[in-house]
């Protein structure tokens, strides 16, 4: 940072940062440090006393088949959501770049789901696809598919992935459109003159030049699938059927708030914290100044 012209004032700057700092300390640092401490404590079954157990909670959590299951569920869920949401958005963005007529209208209609809460997105999809009154579930059965996401774990996963991806298409679309617009048209035209077909032009010029956008979106979509989709899981499947859609964040909530196993829940929180730190570090290391909103 270059030396700047500044205001000489001793007290004012502290007053200006005070509100944000106070909220940050009370609602971020204090709870986070408590989560760290709690993750190394174990309470007796009545919650009367607790003792310090170092990393025992982590060992317990990481050897718990249910937790390993939730890691696997989270991995499948995140990869599917990122893949579906990004591939669809990229296809639509490339198409939107081709047309001139009604381009603005397409964009306007495409950004709606951004404004829909993830939980509501989940409920809308559940309404369409629930076995008793869902009109599209009716259609699936008519096609001879034995559709019941409330009982079949795989179908439940398909449903939450669909809802979560649907909501994220708008966001990815806007970024891909911006990314595509930044690619010089002359490059593409030069390749066309040299005889490269449409597919070839896309994979050898457009796609590589989009890499920064794609990478940025990959991180953002992963963070989204990890954390922001809690509402979808909670509203649509409640982690079920069985534990087929229990993601890591859902399990932290479930163990802490529903089952009241504090030490385990805190240890899981800390594991998630490490994952967020890693993701943020990747984001800043490779994608300068690209920040996730939260």
Partner 1 sequence: MAEPKALVPASGHDKLMIGQSIAGIYVAHAILILGIVIVAFPIYYTFVASTHSLQTILRPPLPLLPGDRFVENYYEALFGGVGRIGGVSVATLLVNTTIVALGIAIGKIVISILSAYAIVFFRFPFRMVFFWLIFITLMLPVEVRILPTYKVMVDLGLIDTYTGLILPLIASATATLLFRQFFLTIPGELVEAARVDGAGPWRFFKDILLPLSRTNIAALFVILFIYGWTQYLWPLLVTNRNDMNTIVIALKKMISFADADTEWHLVMVTSMLAIVPPILVVVLMQRWFVRGLVDTEK
Q: Report 12-51 residues binding partner 1 (CB under 8 A).
A: 12-14, 16-17, 19-21, 23-32, 34-35, 38
- The β-bridge partners of 42 are 51
- Told to check if 1 binds partner 1 by CB under 8 A, we report yes
Rounded Cα gap, residues 8 and 211, in angstroms? 45
Rounded CA-CA distance 81/166 in Å is 9
Do the beta carbons of residue 220 and residue 226 sit within 8 Å?
no
Please give the Cα distance from 185 to 201 (Å, whole number): 11
The stretch among 50-58, 59-67, 78-86, 94-102 that binds partner 1 (CB under 8 A) is 94-102
CA 252 to chain centre: 16
By CB under 8 A, tell whether 140 contacts partner 1: no
List 69, 138, 140, 214, residue binding partner 1 (CB under 8 A): 138
Q: Tell whether residue 272 is a contact of partner 1 (CB under 8 A).
A: yes
Stretch of residues binding partner 1 (CB under 8 A), selected from 52-60, 90-98, 153-161, 203-211: 90-98
Q: Is 276 in the site for partner 1 (CB under 8 A)?
A: yes
Q: How far is the CB of 233 from partner 1 (least distance, A)?
A: 10
Under the binding rule (CB under 8 A), the answer on residue 263 touching partner 1 is no
- Per rule CB under 8 A, is residue 237 in the interface with partner 1? no
Residues 188, 185: Cα–Cα separation, whole Å: 5
Find the shortest distance in angstroms from Cβ 40 to partner 1: 13
The two structure tokens encoding residue 137 = 């579930």
Nearest residue to 212 via CA among 169, 170, 183:
183
């Amino acid at each position: 940072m270059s030396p700047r012209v500044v205001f000489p004032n001793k007290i004012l700057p502290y007053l200006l940062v005070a509100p944000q700092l106070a909220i940050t300390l009370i609602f971020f640092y204090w709870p986070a440090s408590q989560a760290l401490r709690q993750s190394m404590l174990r309470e007796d079954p009545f919650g009367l006393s607790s003792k310090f157990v170092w990393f025992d909670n982590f060992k317990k959590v990481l050897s718990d088949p249910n937790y390993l299951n939730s890691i696997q569920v989270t991995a499948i869920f995140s990869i599917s959501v990122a893949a579906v949401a990004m591939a669809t958005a990229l296809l639509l963005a490339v198409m939107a770049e081709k047309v001139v007529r009604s381009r603005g209208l397409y964009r306007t209609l495409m950004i709606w789901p951004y404004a829909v809460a993830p939980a509501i997105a989940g409920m809308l999809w559940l309404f369409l696809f629930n076995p008793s009154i869902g009109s599209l579930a009716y259609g699936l059965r008519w096609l001879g598919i034995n559709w019941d996401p409330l009982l079949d774990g795989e179908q439940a996963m398909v449903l939450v992935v669909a809802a979560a991806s649907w909501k994220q298409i708008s966001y990815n679309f806007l970024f891909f459109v911006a990314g595509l617009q930044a690619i010089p048209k002359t490059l593409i035209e030069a390749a066309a003159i040299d005889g490269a077909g449409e597919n070839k032009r896309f994979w050898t010029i457009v796609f590589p030049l989009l890499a920064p956008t794609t990478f940025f979106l990959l991180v953002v979509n992963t963070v989204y699938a990890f954390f922001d989709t809690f509402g979808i899981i909670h509203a649509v499947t409640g982690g079920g059927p069985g534990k087929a859609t229990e993601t890591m964040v859902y399990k932290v909530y479930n163990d802490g708030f529903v089952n009241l196993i504090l030490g385990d829940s805190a240890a899981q929180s800390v594991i998630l914290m490490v994952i967020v730190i890693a993701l943020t570090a990747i984001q800043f290391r490779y994608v300068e100044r690209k920040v996730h909103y939260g």
